[in-house]
């Protein structure tokens, strides 16, 4: 069992930066499919660019995870709760990787590259195909809604640990600020 009581700062920064970006991206994505307003093209360009940032950030999070010690879950949790926590974490990482990749492939299937902040374009890795585009567009939406559901579950579990159980799980991922006296 890990003796570490809190995640290191690197993990906290990566976690909260990912959280803000991913939740923002989910809401921008939903708004883009509901509107053809004048800001749609700009939103799409930013959505693509930040999608690639999220993909890179998740890769960095996974690499960071290899080098840090993480706090153990409370010992009084049932085996099923331990399994659910680990399975949810794995599912969240899979979805966080699958979502931007499906977006990239969807753009490619439409015959379009992914332009990252106007600085460079990602290579086209699949050929243009209306059938593939339709499939990937549906997949991208399903993955996005699935990630949203897992995020709601994640937040609910964190709040349950922080407000009801009042154990060490939620505080282990929060920043501790000290007052200057």
pLDDT digit string, tens, across residues 75-109? 999 999 999 999 999 999 999 999 999 999 999 99
- Average pLDDT of the residues in 11-39: 87
Q: What's the Cα-to-Cα distance from 149 to each of 12, 61, 97, 144, 153, rounded to whole Å?
A: 22, 21, 16, 9, 6
Taking the C-alpha atoms of residue 170 and residue 122, their distance in angstroms, rounded to an integer, is: 37
Domain contains 54: yes
Q: What's the Cα-to-Cα distance from 15 to each of 24, 118, 121, 175, rounded to whole Å?
A: 14, 27, 27, 11
Predicted confidence at residue 177, as pLDDT, reads 76
- The string of pLDDT tens digits covering residues 125-135 is 999 999 999 99
- The string of pLDDT tens digits covering residues 48-65 is 999 999 999 999 999 999
Domain contains 59: yes
Q: What percent of the chain has pLDDT above 70?
A: 94
Considering the chain, what is the average pLDDT of its residues? 92
Domain contains 16: yes
Q: Which two tokens stand for residue 174?
A: 């929060």
Domain contains 179: no
Q: What is the pTM of this model?
A: 0.90
Considering its fold, how many domains does the chain have in total? 1
Kind and range of the H or E run holding 116: strand 115-116
Q: Are strands 115-116 and 120-121 parallel, antiparallel or unpaired?
A: antiparallel
Supply the range of the domain harboring residue 103: 9-173
Domain contains 57: yes
Domain contains 35: yes
């Amino acid at each position: 069992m890990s003796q570490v009581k809190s995640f290191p700062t690197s993990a906290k920064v990566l976690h909260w930066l990912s959280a803000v970006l991913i939740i923002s991206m989910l809401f921008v994505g939903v708004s883009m499919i509901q509107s053809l307003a004048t800001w749609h093209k700009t939103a799409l360009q930013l959505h693509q660019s930040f999608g690639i940032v999220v993909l890179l950030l998740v890769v960095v999070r996974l690499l960071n995870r290899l080098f840090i010690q993480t706090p153990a879950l409370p010992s009084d949790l049932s085996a099923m709760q331990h399994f659910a926590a680990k399975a949810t974490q794995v599912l969240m990482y899979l979805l966080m990787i699958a979502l931007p990749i499906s977006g990239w492939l969807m753009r490619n299937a439409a015959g379009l590259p992914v332009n990252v902040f106007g600085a460079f374009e990602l290579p086209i890795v699949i050929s243009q195909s209306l059938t593939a585009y339709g499939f990937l567009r549906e997949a991208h939406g399903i993955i996005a809604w699935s990630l949203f559901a897992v995020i709601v579950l994640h937040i609910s579990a964190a709040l349950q640990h922080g407000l009801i159980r009042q154990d060490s799980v939620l505080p282990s991922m929060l920043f501790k600020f000290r007052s200057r006296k």
